[in-house]
């Protein structure tokens, strides 16, 4: 459904991203032999300029963020990447250099994560850049990590550090000190999908998800899926040195860290006796993990225990569009 | 990556569309056991308000058109539908009744074509409605119809009637006589993916594609894929009574019929001796087919033979955005 100019665009920029199953992007569809003895894992995410990324973010990181947000969904299921389809809606006056940068970022990530384009579509939009990506992965039958499975007494774990993405967005918006070359801005623009950790947690984690909408809100999803409450220890939540410095200067930023979203870390559940095994698996995957609380009997909600031991009041809701 | 209001929207409207593999749209991804002994067929198409549909088209038909455009890609490969993922970017002021209508159309087509939602994403956009759909289908190994395969001397076939969609768009725009309840407008808004025909052509068609960008332009794709030229007999191209009436009143409209796009019919190639078998297979599939020319030695281009036998001059290019 592409106009002639779009065929040229596809041949010049997107064809080099295509894997053999894409049939040269010259057929009506891709043809793929599903890997034998594996289940398919499928997710799709959309991103819109001015909503999910800043219009002046480098195009190289926008393509990579789109792909990595989807890879993070695979990581949360313990799945391995197989390929992706992407549709792009670009304004007619978008410079071709922007598209070249966008594609260069994707090409770098295809090498890094070992997958390729299976198909897609490129259209025009009289509005902001609008992107959609569908990812395919595979997992051993029955091994997928689900959101349901938490029980009272189980430990709450999280990978990496929390809050960097939300703080990084404010840095890029000029609302917090810092610069576009720093750690926080980088974490906003380039999520690190925890694929190795997700795969390593099979058989030890009871449930998992990725943190995209804010730690507290996403922990609430695990509570509702498991029919349990959660007690989150705010002081246990792992912060990067850059995030810690900002929160120490303005303790009110702790709420943003806990609810801000754009983390793309794994939030997962393990039995209380499994801490050593969790730590060993995470170390083997090269990913730091931290125990940040426990699931409890009671209403399906998250109690955040503040630095003074008292419940911490947080703004309602989780991630919100900026 | 959805805001709280979007979770409610998903639960209210999109959850009823979800198949069991979607895990209640409450996990990070869908889990699917690929049908054993089949190849996967994958395609994605995007549609933007004001580009691929009219902003005042009924929401019921917009959802169905999005799905059917993708089903038409499966039909062109001879594949059977398996499921789909969809992302929607809606303006914040879009009435919820619009979304309800959009979903009702999809629900009707899910029943008609026997597939369900596997996953997706709903986001906000400060601009026009922007939609993306990724479809999954399956085909017997090696049985997929490809675009390559035409040889000099082979017949060119097309299903149904050509030009209705392009004429229907002009009717809806008030540029041609007719009304929104008529055949042509209906054909613009609701493509008829030729799934039964595509499946029936396995083993007899040498190549196939669906006509989305205009008959002449798409026939050019078959020429380039096969390394042959094509001679298209304009008078043989099947027209509906409504299209025939408009072309008789204004013969200049023949060019629009041949290049206008939005047909979603199957264009396919068969050996010259296979006409009886093609017609029998098409009859069994309940789909009319017409032989409209032949492939020839020579440059990879389409010669359109006009009503007087002389080459017909057509405007350059194929389908273009309105």
Q: Residue A115 pairs with which residues in a beta bridge?
A: none
Share of chain B above pLDDT 90, in %: 86
Determine, for residues A43 and B85 on separate chains, whether the beta-carbon distance falls below 8 Å. yes
Last residue of a domain, one of A139, A165, A184: A139
Instruction: Find, in chain B, the residue whose alpha carbon is nearest to that of A142.
Output: B31
Q: Do residues B240 and B189 share a domain? A: yes
Is residue B161 domain-resident?
Answer: yes
Helix, strand, coil % (nearest 5) of chain B? 40, 25, 35
pLDDT of residue A320: 40
Instruction: Give the mean pLDDT of B50-70.
Output: 95
Q: How many domains does the structure of chain B reveal? A: 2
pLDDT of residue A321: 37
pLDDT of residue A103: 97
Q: In what order do the strands lie in the sheet with A229-233?
A: A207-211, A265-270, A155-159, A289-296, A229-233, A302-305
Q: Do residues B77 and B111 share a domain? A: yes
Is residue A103 domain-resident?
Answer: yes
Q: Do residues A260 and A192 share a domain? A: yes
Find the range with the poorest average confidence among A214-218, A307-311, B57-61, B216-220: A307-311
Question: In the structure, what pLDDT confidence band is assigned to residue A239 with cuts at 50, 70 and 90?
Answer: very high
Query: Within an 8 Å CB–CB cutoff, is residue B82 touching chain A?
Result: no
Q: Give the domain range for residue B294.
A: 155-305
Pair of tokens at residue A227: 């029919």
Closest by CA to A237, choosing from A214, A220, A221, is A214
Is residue B310 domain-resident?
Answer: no
Q: Do B252 and B170 contact (CB within 8 A), yes or no?
A: no
Res B100 pLDDT > 50:
yes
Determine, for residues B69 and A120 on separate chains, whether the beta-carbon distance falls below 8 Å. no
Chain B segment 183-222 residues within 8 A of A by beta carbon are: 209-210, 212-213, 217, 221
Determine, for residues B79 and A213 on separate chains, whether the beta-carbon distance falls below 8 Å. no
Q: How far apart are CA A109 and CA A64, in angstroms?
A: 6
pLDDT tens, residue by residue, A34-46:
999 999 999 999 9
Q: Do residues B203 and B127 share a domain? A: no
Find the range with the poorest average confidence among A5-14, A206-215, A285-294, B45-54: A5-14
Instruction: Write the burial class of residue A149 (CB in 10 Å: 0-12 exposed, 13-18 middle, 19+ buried).
Output: middle
Res A319 pLDDT > 60:
no
Q: Which residues of A touch B3 (CB under 8 A)?
A: 213, 317-321
Q: Do A113 and A137 contact (CB within 8 A), yes or no?
A: no
Q: Which residues of B touch A266 (CB under 8 A)?
A: none
Q: Do residues A135 and A270 share a domain? A: no
Share of chain A above pLDDT 70, in %: 97
Is residue B146 domain-resident?
Answer: no
Instruction: Give the mean pLDDT of B286-290.
Output: 98
Instruction: Give the mean pLDDT of A131-154.
Output: 97
Q: Do residues B206 and B247 share a domain? A: yes
Is residue A319 domain-resident?
Answer: no
Find the range with the poorest average confidence among A15-24, A154-163, B120-129: A15-24
- CA B89 from centre of chain: 22
Res A322 pLDDT > 60:
no
- The 8-class DSSP code of residue B234 comes to G
Residue B157, min C-alpha distance to chain A (Å): 17
Find the range with the poorest average confidence among A253-267, B7-21, B192-206: B7-21
pLDDT of residue B68: 98
pLDDT of residue B316: 59
pLDDT of residue B4: 59
Q: Residue B231 pairs with which residues in a beta bridge?
A: B294, B303
Instruction: Give the mean pLDDT of B6-22.
Output: 87
Q: Do residues A250 and A219 share a domain? A: yes
Pair of tokens at residue A204: 């030890």
Is residue A71 domain-resident?
Answer: yes
Res A118 pLDDT > 70:
yes
Res A223 pLDDT > 90:
yes
pLDDT tens, residue by residue, B102-118:
999 999 999 999 999 99
Pair of tokens at residue B247: 């072309």
Is residue A146 domain-resident?
Answer: no
pLDDT of residue B252: 92
Q: Do residues A160 and A33 share a domain? A: no
Determine, for residues B321 and A124 on separate chains, whether the beta-carbon distance falls below 8 Å. yes
* End-to-end CA gap in chain B: 33
Q: Binding site: what residues of B are annotated? A: 28, 45, 52, 73, 120-121, 147, 210, 212-213, 262, 319
Q: Do residues B121 and B261 share a domain? A: no
Pair of tokens at residue B235: 């008078």
Query: Within an 8 Å CB–CB cutoff, is residue A225 touching chain B?
Result: yes
Q: Do residues B135 and B160 share a domain? A: no
pLDDT of residue A1: 40
Selected residue with higher pLDDT from A2 and A40: A40
Question: In the structure, what pLDDT confidence band is assigned to residue B214 with cuts at 50, 70 and 90?
Answer: very high
Q: Do residues A77 and A109 share a domain? A: yes
Q: Which residues of B touch A42 (CB under 8 A)?
A: 29-30, 32, 85, 118-119, 136
Selected residue with higher pLDDT from A308 and A66: A66
Pair of tokens at residue A141: 């039958």
pLDDT of residue A3: 54
Pair of tokens at residue B249: 């009143």
Q: Which residues of B touch A89 (CB under 8 A)?
A: 46, 48, 130
Residue A212, min C-alpha distance to chain B (Å): 6
**Residue A284's domain is classified under what CATH number?**
3.90.650.10
Q: How far apart are CA B273 and CA B288, in angstroms?
A: 19
Q: Is A179 annotated as a binding residue?
A: no
Mean of all residue pLDDT scores within chain B: 93
Question: In the structure, what pLDDT confidence band is assigned to residue B284 with cuts at 50, 70 and 90?
Answer: very high
Find the range with the poorest average confidence among A5-14, A100-109, B36-45, B141-150: A5-14
Q: Do A147 and A208 contact (CB within 8 A), yes or no?
A: yes
* End-to-end CA gap in chain A: 33
Q: Do B47 and B66 contact (CB within 8 A), yes or no?
A: yes
Is residue A316 domain-resident?
Answer: no
Res B136 pLDDT > 60:
yes
Q: List Cα–Cα distances, B90 to B28, B96, B258, B261, in angstroms.
A: 21, 10, 34, 26
Instruction: Find, in chain A, the residue whose alpha carbon is nearest to that of B128.
Output: A127
Q: Do residues A48 and A175 share a domain? A: no
**Residue A24's domain is classified under what CATH number?**
3.30.1330.10
Closest by CA to A160, choosing from A118, A114, A215, A115, is A215
pLDDT of residue B322: 38
């Amino acid at each position: 459904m592409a106009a002639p100019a779009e065929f040229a665009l596809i041949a010049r920029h997107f064809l080099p991203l295509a894997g053999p199953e894409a049939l040269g992007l010259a057929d009506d569809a891709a043809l793929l032999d599903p890997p034998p003895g594996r289940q398919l894992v499928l997710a799709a995410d959309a991103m819109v300029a001015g909503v999910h990324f800043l219009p002046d973010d480098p195009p190289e990181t926008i393509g990579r963020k789109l792909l990595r947000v989807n890879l993070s969904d695979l990581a949360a299921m313990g799945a391995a990447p197989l390929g992706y389809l992407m549709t792009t809606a670009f304004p007619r006056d978008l410079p071709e250099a922007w598209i070249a940068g966008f594609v260069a970022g994707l090409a770098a990530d295809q090498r890094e994560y070992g997958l390729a384009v299976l198909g897609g579509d490129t259209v025009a939009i009289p509005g902001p850049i609008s992107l959609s990506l569908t990812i395919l992965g595979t997992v051993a039958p029955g091994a997928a990590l689900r959101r349901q499975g938490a029980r009272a007494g189980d430990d709450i774990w999280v990978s990496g550090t929390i809050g960097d993405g939300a703080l990084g967005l404010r840095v890029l918006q000029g609302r917090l000190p810092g610069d576009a070359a720093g750690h926080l801005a980088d974490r906003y623009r380039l999520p690190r999908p925890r694929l190795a950790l997700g795969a390593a947690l099979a058989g030890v984690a009871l449930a998992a998800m990725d943190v995209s909408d804010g730690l507290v809100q996403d922990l609430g999803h695990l509570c509702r899926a498991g029919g349990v409450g959660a007690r989150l220890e705010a002081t246990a939540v792992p912060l990067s040195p850059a995030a810690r410095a900002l929160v120490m200067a303005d303790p009110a930023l702790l709420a943003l860290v806990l609810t801000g979203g754009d983390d793309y870390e794994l939030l997962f559940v393990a039995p209380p006796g499994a801490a050593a095994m969790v730590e060993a698996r995470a170390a083997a995957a090269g990913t730091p993990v931290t125990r940040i609380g426990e699931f409890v009997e009671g209403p399906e909600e998250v109690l955040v225990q503040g630095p003074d031991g008292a419940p911490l009041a947080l703004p309602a809701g989780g991630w919100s569009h900026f």
